[in-house]
Amino acid sequence: MALVKDIMRTELVTLSPGETVESAVRLMKENNIGSILVVDAGKLVGIFTERDLVSMVASGASLEQKLGDVMTRNLVTVKPDDPVVKALCRMIEHNIRHIPVVDDTGAPLGMVSARDILRNML
C-alpha cells in the first residue's frame, strides 16, 4: 500500500499571510501549480487555491488583498505515513483537489494533488 510520503511533492511554494493575492497568483503561474500554502512562523495556517481566486474575481475583490484575508483556513491535511487512500478519501469527502502534508507540529512537509494520486494509480 502506497503512503502519502511516497507520492507527495516536497518542493513547496509558500507565502506568508501578509503577502498579496497578486503575489500568490504570479507564483502559481510561474510554478504551474493550483495552490499556495500560507505559512506563518513555520506553521501551515492556510491555503490559497484556484477556487479561492475564482471566488474573489467573481465578487470583484482586489488582487491587492492580503492572503490572510482570503485564504482557506479550515485546513484538511494528512500526515506522511498515512495511506494514499486516506488522502484520496479526505479529498473526496471535502471536495478538494489539493491536500497539504504536515508533521505533528503543523509544519508543512509536502503537497498531494488529485493528479499526483492518479499518476500513482497508473
Give per-residue pLDDT as tens, 2-54: 999 999 999 999 999 999 999 999 999 999 999 999 999 999 999 999 999 99
The yes-or-no verdict on residue 122 having pLDDT over 90 is: no
**Mean pLDDT rounded to a whole number for the chain:** 94
For residue 95, the model assigns a pLDDT of 95
Helix (H) / strand (E) element for 36: namely strand 35-40
Q: Write out the H or E segment, with its range, that includes residue 52.
A: helix 50-59
- Nearest Cα residue to 7 out of 81, 75, 76, 77: 81
Domains and CATH numbers, the chain: 4-121 (3.10.580.10)
The pLDDT, as a whole number, for residue 55 is 92
pLDDT surpassing 90 at residue 82: yes
- Between strands 98-102 and 108-113, the pairing is antiparallel
